[in-house]
Structures are given as structure tokens and as C-alpha cells.
Homo-oligomer: A and B are copies of this chain.
Amino acid sequence: MKVKNLVGQRFKERPADCVIDSHALMVRGGYMKYVGNGIFSEFPALRRVTSKIETIIREEMNSIDGQEVLFPVVMPAELWQESGRYDSIANELVRFQDRNKSKMVLGMTHEEAAVQLVREYGQSYQQYPFMIYQIQRKFRDEARPRAGMIRVREFTMKDAYSFHTSQEDLEQYYQKCYDAYNRIFKRVGIPEVVTVASDSGMMGGNISHEYMLLNEVGEDSIVLCSACDYRANLEAAENIVENISDNVFSSLECIETPNCKTIEDVCNFLQSEVSASCKAVVYQKNSDDSYLVAFVRGDYEVNETKLRNLVGEDIHSAEIKADSPLVAGYIGPFELSEKVDYYLDLSLKGIDSLVAGANREGFHYIGLNLERDIKNVSFVDIAKVKDGGICPCCGKPALTIKRGIEVGNIFQLGTKYSKSMHMQYVDKDGSSHNPIMGCYGIGIGRLAASICEAKHDDYGPIWPISIAPWEVHICCIRPDDEETKKAADTLYEELKKQRIEVIYDDREGIRGGQMFADADLLGVPIRIIISPRNLQNNKIEITTRDKTVNTVVEVSDALDYVLKLKEQLYFELNN
């Protein structure tokens, strides 16, 4: 392939609407084109990258006995009604009617289709375990697509589904897949990806892991322990707070606190500690708009994911109306209206003497001791972990919070889908059971963009050789010089004969600086520069995109040098 024929233009200026580097570079480099909100086309340079990622993923899925299948993008609504997700998923699921007024959906994930495909096949225990996967387009009507290919509405995804007859068998396979994922991220050039325990969200099931590329542009917050291996998504991370009693108990007293509607106001007014105050955060259930209050220690925040899981249904921030039983700014757990559900976070447990709202305009309680003053009190974990928090694994106060991009996930689904969709197998003893499922996803485009985000400089992507659009980039400086052109042409042909993927820049009238800028944007790992000056000494310059190699070799040695360099780059990735 010659640069002059490559479809997709490159340009200098950073597009104004790009908030992260990878997006800007992938637009500037002629990789992707905006089609609509969260919808992009892939130019050839990117399609080469995504194809290679797909091939690596296929190899690893096949290596753990995955069998590739293909589910449709468009599915009848009935399928999603069977699982209950037709109703339980909100706007992310696109619904439409076909010409016959039949209700259809666009696949945003394919658990339903997977169960439908193998429901008859999997009727005997003898068929188990098995795993099927596909690489297919999906559409998820995200409210806020952002950051180029990182969060889009339409994307290509590898999604895999495994079926088992026991939890042990699922766990064994889950571990296999866990390892295969680590191999995938290593092979595509980002071995630094870490796994974190995660919340299963709308997928259902219990145990799940996310593969996170730690990066400040990521939209996920990850809790890591600096003293042990503990890692979790902030959404799922257990929050441990130890309140040490000083055995000074005050009596409960209701006092006037005029115009103290925030924790800060109250603490200032009473000269009390924020960590001895009780913060109220009010939500409403989506289903019936009924109120619920989450109480956390004044210096903590509510973790809405944990709260949502406890409540068991979707919730949203409350709008407190005048006729509600809640007194905005003065809400507390003591003597709260019985019409309102409330949850007390574990961070409030063991505090001898709390300040809390008195559920009466302009008044707070002081000296509140929840264990003493509230009947049958119970505490739940609904607060967000903080930097310096206590690790639930090793117990040390060594937690830190970092940003990450989720590049993959694996879920132990259990029987959520096999039960709702009536998939059963007959066991050895003649009894019928629902198979236990796992599911395993990787977004192809997001992975490409994440690699770019992790591996780039100011001038362009620094693609790992395994997924680079080409392996070698030849710059022929002064193709108008006959000898130079001939040397470059010869090497181009020789490399192609060796099945090296090579892109060749022999554009006339382009300065070296422009050629190099374009080469930087294409991010090809090995670069060969052929110029009249070096050729005078019978030399050719060879560099790597990451600048670790910058050398000049004899023309006659160039091919060998490049072949070895290529091998070395692959070796470094795989070992």
C-alpha cells in the first residue's frame, strides 16, 4: 500500500471537539469519521487495526474452546420480553416497529439470542460445558456518547456466552476466560490492564470482573490497595469505616439551628466535627416516585450503585415537594416519617454522639446515638470508598482511587437468563435444571482507542506491532531522485515478498518533515528512511516509532535488520 493511495486524509490541527488525545489523533490521522452522535465510520487505517484485534481475540477465544457463531443485530421484541429486559431496560434499548407493526429491538448485548440459539441443543447434560461467541455490531442508545471511540452508541463487540451444569464448572471456565483476556490485552500491547471486581449492573448475576486500563481520561473510578492486590470498581468496592468510641455519651437533645441547611452550616454553627454528623441524601424510586433517604457520615458520599442494588430497583435524585413528609435541609433518621424508607450507612455505626436533622424546620438533634435511640437499628454499606480508606482484603488504610477505561468484562450470570427463558437440561439422574451461564465481552473499537490513549505521543499513536495498521513504513525522501526511488522501490518489493505489511510513502513534492508527520500519525512501529544523503554512503536509516531504535545500516543489510527487528518487537509483546 502506498501512502498516496491510502483513503483517509491527515491534518495538523487538533479538532476543537476532541476532549481526549486518542480521539484527536485518530481524527487527525485519518482513522475515523463522525457520522452522527456516537456513530463513526472506520477508514482503512483503523479497519486494519480493528481487524487485527479481532483476529487476536478470535485466536484466544478458540484456544479456550469457544465456537464462533453469529446472532442478528435486529431481534423480535418477544425474545427480550422472555428475559424481562424489554421492560426493565430504559432508553438504551432501541425499540421500533417493522413494516408489519411487529415490535423489534436492536441488540445491545446478546444473552437472549444466545439462549434462544442453544435452548434445544443444550437439552442434555452431555453437551456441557460449551462456549459460543460472536464478533458483531451492537447499538446502545447512550445518553452521553463521549471521547471518540471510547463511549459510542454503535460498536463492534466480541461477546461470548458459556453454559455449565455446576457453579464449580462455571468458575473453572471463568478462570480460563480470565486468563485468555489477560493474554489478549498482553498481545494487543497493553499488559498493564488490571482486573477489578465490579458491579454486574443490568447483566444480572453475582461475581464479575472488569478489565481496566488505568488512565486519567477513563470514566470509571477504580479502588486499588497499595499494600495488597485488592482492586475493585468504585461502584462495587466495599467501604470499611471504623468509628472508635471514646465512651462519652451525651443525651439526645433537639436544638434550634436557624438557616443551617447543609452539613457545613450545622457543623460551623455547632462547632462540631463533620465526621460526627449524619448526612441525608434523598432519592425517589423510578417505579412510583416514593421517597427513600440514604444516611451517610458527613464526610462520605453515597454510592448509588450499591444503594440501587439494595433497593432492588432503579432510583433517581429526589425533587422534594412541599407536601412531602420530608423537611428539606433538616432530614434525620430519628423520628423520620414512617412513610419514608431509609438506609443507614455503616460509616454511622459506633459513633457515640451524632448531629442529625430533627425533621423539623430549623432544628437538629445533637447527642444522637443510633444504636441507643433507634429501635432495631441496622446498617448497610452504601457509601463510596475514599482515598486512604481501609482495604477490605488486607485491612490496611491503603486504598487509592484511580481513573480507568473499561476494556473488557466477564460476568458469572448464574441462571438469570436460562431460568427466565426456560432453558433446561436433563441431568444424569433424569432431573431437570437450568444451566448456569457466564458472559464475556470486549468492545473492539474502544480497545483500539484505549491502546491509542495508552500508547501515543504528541505526534500520533505508537501502535504495538501486533495491531499496527502496517508493520513497516518506508519514507522515500526525494522520490524524484532516480537512485533513491529505485532503492526504496526495491526494498518495498522485497519486504512485501517477505509478507511484511508495509506502507510506502513515495509522494513527490512532499518535504521530509511532512512525510515524517504523516508517518507519526500512522504510528507504524518500524520506519525506514531512504534519502539521497544516506544512500551516498550506501546507507539506509531505520527507526522505531517509539524512538528506542534509531540507526543507520548498509543497504544490503536493511532487509535482514528489519526482519529481525520485527521479530524482536513481537517477542517483546508476547514475553
Interface residues of A (CB under 8 A from B): 1, 4-9, 30, 33, 35-37, 39-44, 46-48, 50-51, 65, 67-76, 78-79, 91, 94-96, 98-100, 102, 104, 106, 113, 116-118, 120-121, 126-127, 130, 132, 134, 136-137, 139, 141, 143, 153-154, 156
Rounded to whole angstroms, the CA-CA distance of A46 and B68 in the bound complex is 9
Rounded to whole angstroms, the CA-CA distance of A98 and B79 in the bound complex is 21
Rounded to whole angstroms, the CA-CA distance of A65 and B69 in the bound complex is 30
Q: Given A113-B41, A117-B33, A141-B98, do A72 and B7 touch, yes or no (CB 8 Å)?
A: no
Give 6 A-B pairs besides A6-B67, A9-B120 with Cβ atoms closer than 8 angstroms: A7-B69, A7-B118, A30-B121, A39-B74, A39-B76, A42-B70
Contact indicator B35/A51 (Cβ below 8 Å): no
Rounded to whole angstroms, the CA-CA distance of A487 and B332 in the bound complex is 78
Across the A-B interface, give the 10 residue pairs with the lowest CB-CB distance, nearest first. Answer: A96-B96, A36-B76, A44-B67, A42-B70, A91-B99, A39-B72, A72-B154, A41-B117, A47-B68, A99-B141
Chain B's closest residue to A39 (CB) is B72
Rounded to whole angstroms, the CA-CA distance of A139 and B43 in the bound complex is 22
Q: How far is the CB of A238 from chain B (nearest CB, A)?
A: 34
Q: How far is the CB of A110 from chain B (nearest CB, A)?
A: 9
Report the copy number of this chain in the oligomer. Answer: 2
Contact indicator B99/A5 (Cβ below 8 Å): no
Q: How far is the CB of A506 from chain B (nearest CB, A)?
A: 14
In the complex, which of the residues B39, B47, B72, B154 contacts A35, with contact meaning CB atoms closer than 8 Å? B72
Chain B's closest residue to A139 (CB) is B74
Rounded to whole angstroms, the CA-CA distance of A75 and B33 in the bound complex is 13
In the complex, which residues of chain B have a beta carbon less than 8 angstroms from the beta carbon of A65?
5
A-B contact pairs, 23 of them (CB 8 A): A1-B67, A6-B67, A7-B121, A36-B74, A36-B75, A36-B78, A37-B76, A37-B100, A39-B74, A44-B67, A44-B69, A47-B134, A48-B68, A70-B156, A72-B137, A73-B137, A73-B139, A73-B154, A74-B106, A91-B99, A94-B96, A98-B153, A136-B137
Rounded to whole angstroms, the CA-CA distance of A6 and B94 in the bound complex is 33
A contact patch SS: mixed
Q: How far is the CB of A153 from chain B (nearest CB, A)?
A: 7
In the complex, which residues of chain B have a beta carbon less than 8 angstroms from the beta carbon of A9?
120-121
In the complex, which residues of chain B have a beta carbon less than 8 angstroms from the beta carbon of A33?
116-117
In the complex, which residues of chain B have a beta carbon less than 8 angstroms from the beta carbon of A126?
4
In the complex, which residues of chain B have a beta carbon less than 8 angstroms from the beta carbon of A98?
94, 141, 153
Rounded to whole angstroms, the CA-CA distance of A49 and B74 in the bound complex is 22
In the complex, which residues of chain B have a beta carbon less than 8 angstroms from the beta carbon of A78?
36
Contact indicator A69/B47 (Cβ below 8 Å): yes
Q: How far is the CB of A44 from chain B (nearest CB, A)?
A: 4
Rounded to whole angstroms, the CA-CA distance of A255 and B366 in the bound complex is 112
Q: How far is the CB of A289 from chain B (nearest CB, A)?
A: 21
Rounded to whole angstroms, the CA-CA distance of A324 and B532 in the bound complex is 84
Rounded to whole angstroms, the CA-CA distance of A121 and B29 in the bound complex is 12
Q: How far is the CB of A532 from chain B (nearest CB, A)?
A: 24
Chain B's closest residue to A119 (CB) is B33
Chain B's closest residue to A42 (CB) is B70
Contact indicator A130/B71 (Cβ below 8 Å): no
Q: Given A33-B117, A35-B113, A136-B137, do A44 and B68 touch, yes or no (CB 8 Å)?
A: yes
Q: How far is the CB of A127 from chain B (nearest CB, A)?
A: 8
In the complex, which residues of chain B have a beta carbon less than 8 angstroms from the beta carbon of A127?
7
Interface centre among A1, A5, A6, A68 (most CB of B within 10 A): A68
Rounded to whole angstroms, the CA-CA distance of A95 and B97 in the bound complex is 9
In the complex, which residues of chain B have a beta carbon less than 8 angstroms from the beta carbon of A95?
96
In the complex, which of the residues B47, B76, B102, B143 contacts A99, with contact meaning CB atoms closer than 8 Å? B143
Contact indicator A72/B40 (Cβ below 8 Å): yes
Rounded to whole angstroms, the CA-CA distance of A69 and B514 in the bound complex is 25
In the complex, which residues of chain B have a beta carbon less than 8 angstroms from the beta carbon of A96?
94-96
In the complex, which residues of chain B have a beta carbon less than 8 angstroms from the beta carbon of A4?
126
Contact indicator B74/A132 (Cβ below 8 Å): no
